[in-house]
């Protein structure tokens, strides 16, 4: 609970068997989360056994992709505030307090991983990823006239139930750029938000979304198409072509 508001935490999992137990424990130890939901998205063998040793509830989502997993979690979450994170140990559980400290002023608190002194040694935030994420965030900032944004791809975020209800029916993306779609839809719906820096650490295990230059470039191009499609009102036409 935070100021009498209950908190759900969503952790989608695909390839995080070796870190998910620690990440869940880190959040449990904060003693403020009311419900931890792990969305198992055809995760590697052994993941369920690790989750079973924690207080988290495991949900299976067969439709493959980060977006499909998060959308399922958002449907299942029961609390007033919903926090989305990753179980790969790239984020710090205690940074949830930074997100929560803005919840009186904004209905969505996004995080940014591009602030230099918050990027840990070994984190997957080389120049290409950093400036790419920053540049695409600026593209959204200009085209949708948003508050200051410095990262298009940070998945650690908080949304109030009220805000979620305004945009949930517009979600279309099932794959890795769901987070960017959510961001743009929230600005189109005039939901108040802010983006704040969080710590970004070295990943445990291999990243499947931005693990190498070509994956990152491919994702970046899809996000450019997404931004233009949503700006021109062509989401229903163009998103199905790139959402794979």
Ligand X SMILES: Nc1nc2c(ncn2[C@@H]2O[C@H](COP(=O)(O)OP(=O)(O)O)[C@@H](O)[C@H]2O)c(=O)[nH]1
- The reply on whether position 23 binds ligand X by CB under 6 A is no
- The reply on whether position 86 binds Mg ion by CB under 5 A is yes
Angstrom distance (rounded) from CA 235 to CA 181: 10
The closest of 179, 28, 30 to 98, measured between CA atoms, is 30
- Which tokens in the block code for residue 20? 């998910």
Choose the binding region for Mg ion from 18-26, 33-41, 72-80, 87-95 (rule: CB under 5 A).
87-95
**Coil, helix or strand at residue 158:** strand
- The reply on whether position 212 binds ligand X by CB under 6 A is no
**Binding residue count for ligand X, defined by CB under 6 A:** 19
CA distances from 140 to 144, 192, 225, 230, 240 (A): 6, 15, 12, 10, 20
Residues 43 to 82 in contact with ligand X, rule: CB under 6 A: 64-66, 69
Report what 41 binds from ligand X, Mg ion, none; CB cut-off 5-8 Å by kind.
Answer: ligand X
Closer residue to Mg ion, CB minimum distance, 90 or 150: 90
- The reply on whether position 88 binds ligand X by CB under 6 A is yes
- The reply on whether position 199 binds ligand X by CB under 6 A is no
Closer residue to ligand X, CB minimum distance, 220 or 235: 220
Angstrom distance (rounded) from CA 153 to CA 132: 10
Q: Which residues contact 32 (CB under 8 A, 6 or more apart)?
A: 1, 2, 7, 96
Q: Residue 118 gets which letter from DSSP?
A: G
Residues in the chain: 244
- The reply on whether position 181 binds Mg ion by CB under 5 A is no
Are the beta carbons of 126 and 238 closer than 8 angstroms?
no
Closer residue to ligand X, CB minimum distance, 123 or 238: 123
Strands 157-160 and 35-40: unpaired
- The reply on whether position 110 binds ligand X by CB under 6 A is no
Report what 56 binds from Mg ion, ligand X, none; CB cut-off 5-8 Å by kind.
Answer: none
Report what 8 binds from ligand X, Mg ion, none; CB cut-off 5-8 Å by kind.
Answer: none
Q: How far is the CB of 103 from ligand X (least distance, A)?
A: 23
Q: Which residues bind ligand X (CB under 6 A)?
A: 12-14, 16, 41, 64-66, 69, 86-88, 124, 176, 203, 207-210
């Amino acid at each position: 609970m935070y100021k009498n508001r209950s908190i759900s935490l969503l952790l989608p999992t695909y390839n995080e068997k070796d870190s998910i137990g620690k990440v869940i424990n880190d959040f449990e130890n904060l003693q403020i989360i009311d419900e931890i939901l792990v969305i198992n998205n055809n995760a590697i063998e052994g993941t369920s056994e690790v989750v079973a040793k924690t207080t988290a509830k495991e949900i299976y989502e067969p439709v493959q992709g980060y977006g499909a997993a998060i959308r399922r979690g958002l449907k299942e979450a029961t609390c007033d505030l919903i926090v989305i994170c990753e179980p790969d140990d790239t984020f710090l559980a205690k940074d949830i307090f930074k997100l929560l400290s803005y919840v009186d002023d904004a209905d969505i608190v996004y995080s940014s991983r591009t602030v230099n002194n918050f990027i840990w040694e070994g984190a997957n935030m080389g120049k290409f990823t950093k400036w790419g994420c920053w540049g695409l965030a600026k593209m959204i900032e200009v085209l949708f006239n948003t508050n200051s944004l410095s990262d298009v791809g940070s998945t650690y975020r908080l949304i109030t139930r009220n805000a979620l209800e305004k945009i949930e029916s517009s979600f279309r993306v099932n794959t890795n750029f769901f987070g960017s779609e959510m961001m743009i839809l929230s600005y189109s719906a005039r939901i108040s938000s802010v983006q704040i820096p969080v710590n970004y650490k070295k990943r445990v295990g291999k990243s499947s979304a931005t693990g190498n230059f070509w994956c990152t470039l491919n994702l970046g191009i899809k996000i450019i198409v997404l931004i233009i499609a949503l700006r021109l009102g062509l989401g229903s036409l163009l998103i199905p072509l790139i959402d794979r």
